[in-house]
Chain A
Amino acid sequence: MLSSILSGLSIGSVLLLVALGLTVIYGSMGIINMAHGELVMLGAYVTVFSERFLRLPFLLCLPLAFGVTAGLGLLIERVVVRRLYGRLLDTLLATWGIGIILQQVIRLSFGPELQNVSVPGFLTGEYRIGEVSLQAYRLAIFLVALALFAIALLILYRTDFGTQLRAVTQNPQISACNGINVNQIRSYTFALGSGLAGVAGVMVSGFNAVSPTMGTNYVVDSFIVVVVGGVSSLVGTVASSALLGSVNSVVAWMSNDVLAKVVLLGLAIAVIRFFPKGLFTIQSR
């Protein structure tokens, strides 16, 4: 039982990790970023690249991946997304196109084969708590997910940028009247969300094989988390990751992994239909 809870927490923290960037973008800009999975994939490839050519320590890949994907996110917003505000379906398609382009660029430069990343020694061991063994890497993912969540909260609620971002989310016109550079805020938001995806990619590369097509799974997972959690708050994302993680581990424990995934997707569809604002949204007005 305890191991089931731990596995749920572990799955939940991976979900939180990959979905956080998407929540920031979708929650505050209302944009469905289908390239999100590919940004995660890119973060993973930053690790591969640094291991092969730069020989940086694993942990240094985290800020490096953040920088690379955030920069790319900034570019994507400036060149593509900005031109499509108000055309939601086209934004979805355009970001999907970007995802395809990123996938092909990586496939052409790194090859289609699976890549493995070696993880530093202190992250490979196991800890024992009573009966249950806990992989150090799982613990690390949990901690990184929490840390990123804390950083995102800090940025949103304790910085000028965060205040302006929340203002733009509520009402872009009035924000502009009050002297907020709406376009700039949106660019930075997109960059922040993309950067978070990159960091998630680095962490994911430590326990899953890295391949050009790995992003597709993550984009679907992230959407489930965001949809179930509701768009308005980061806290909803955490709650929904925890819920979905435990549902996944319970169903997988009772039957199999495939059915667990099917149940998650079915749950997401039901939530979209019956609770369009998500399960963890505080009722306002």
Chain B
Amino acid sequence: MVSEMNLVKLKRFILSPYTLFIVAILIPPLFVVDPFWVNRLSLYLVFSVLALSMSLCWGYAGILSLGHGVFFGLGAYCMAMSLKLLSPDSLTQGTPFPLPDFIVWNTPPGEALKLPWLWVPFQNQWFGLVAALLVPALFAALVGWFVFYGSVSGVFISIITLSMVVILNLVIIDQQPLTNGFNGLNNLAMFNVGGFEFDPYGLPTYYLIAIACALTLLGTRWLTQTKAGLIFKAIQADEQRVKYFGYDIAAYKIFALSVSAMIAGLAGVLFVINSQYASPTIMDVTLSIAIVIWVAVGGRDSLIGAAVGAIAINAIQNVLSESESLINVWRLLLGILFLLVVMFLPKGLASLGSLLQRSPSVTTDTATPVEAVDSQPLKLLSQVEPRK
């Protein structure tokens, strides 16, 4: 016999936004048969993974990164390098080793063709995949070590990350012989597991991305429920106090940024599997800011809100991009919406949902953000105990 308690629990589990979200992303392919749309839908899920990464970093750990495109781009480039070497074009250059076509074009006649050392290990697809996760994470750890152990305050971290994305974008474009510059890497092989090829327009690829997205959601949710997640939030509320409790704040921030970067790298991998190219446009300022906008509008400290924000904004954008003037009007509206959300609804549209559910007293709290910000952290900080 099922006890009442268990029934309530079961009901809450089924109706929880997390379950609903995961079910919702698994259903569409049952109705959508057009391969083009299957591909588009999975692209939105890729962006929602990116939004989860930003939500973890900004909403939970309070690090507003304006350069998240770097981590996404590094992941995408690592994966793309492997898939480039595995593509039929690269394998049939007449050399004993695979060679990307642009390297052949760039080699002056008479010189021996050779694979640059940076490319050599990427001949293995799994090396590319692991590098796509580790390179962004290590790079983030390095950046984090550099800024968080210095006296760099919140706003300047945003400026530094912004400069970082500009620098890397310029370097990638400039290092043409190694990266194919502005054109990026295209004409890639399909992602291949044990002989099965993931066709970007096929259902298996959709499910691969959807499952990765669901696992990322559950993983980030788990992380935010751990003690580390609590410390992240506490640091945001009162950094000094947490510091005096004996916690190494910089270490926690570096950890948060690295995990977030690794998820962004994963999004990069999924992007390459979905779109079959990597170019400097996916690691530029525009994309980095776009991520912040999705997450701000959706709800920076709501994982589901951020993910749904990314999907919704990209879907609308895509539908409207049929016409030049419509898309421009939409971008204008999005700018206005972003401004309004930042000013009046700092927790994004996701907080509207909880406003409707809770008692009216909460509503008045959020109407005056200062109070809401003040009372919550106190409750939260009381859960954090001094470190032994």
Contacts and interface: CB of A to CB of B under 8 A. Distances in A.
B166 interface: yes
A273 B170 contact: no
A94 B342 contact: yes
B146 interface: yes
B328 interface: yes
A96 interface: yes
Contacts of B325: 108
Interface stretch (A60-68, A130-138, A155-163, A259-267): A259-267
B334 interface: yes
A92 B338 contact: no
Interface in A23-81: 32, 80
Residue from A83, A256, A273 whose CB has the most chain B CB atoms within 10 Å: A273
Interface in B127-167: 146-147, 150-156, 158-160, 162-164, 166-167
Residue from B146, B167, B342 whose CB has the most chain A CB atoms within 10 Å: B342
Contacts of B155: 32, 88-89, 92
B64 to A, nearest CB: 5
Nearest to B370: A86
B150 to A, nearest CB: 5
Given A92-B64, A100-B335, 10 more contacts: A89-B158, A97-B339, A98-B339, A100-B332, A108-B328, A258-B171, A258-B173, A269-B164, A272-B156, A272-B160
Interface of B: 64, 146-147, 150-156, 158-160, 162-164, 166-167, 170-171, 173-174, 285, 289, 292, 296, 325, 328-329, 331-332, 334-336, 338-339, 342-343, 346
Interface of A: 32, 80, 83-84, 88-90, 92-94, 96-98, 100-101, 103-105, 107-108, 216, 220, 223-224, 227, 256, 258-259, 261-262, 265-266, 268-269, 272-274, 276
29 contacts: A32-B155, A32-B159, A80-B339, A88-B155, A89-B64, A90-B346, A93-B296, A93-B338, A94-B339, A97-B339, A101-B336, A104-B328, A104-B332, A104-B335, A105-B332, A108-B332, A227-B159, A256-B174, A258-B173, A261-B166, A265-B163, A265-B167, A269-B160, A272-B152, A272-B160, A273-B150, A273-B152, A276-B151, A276-B152
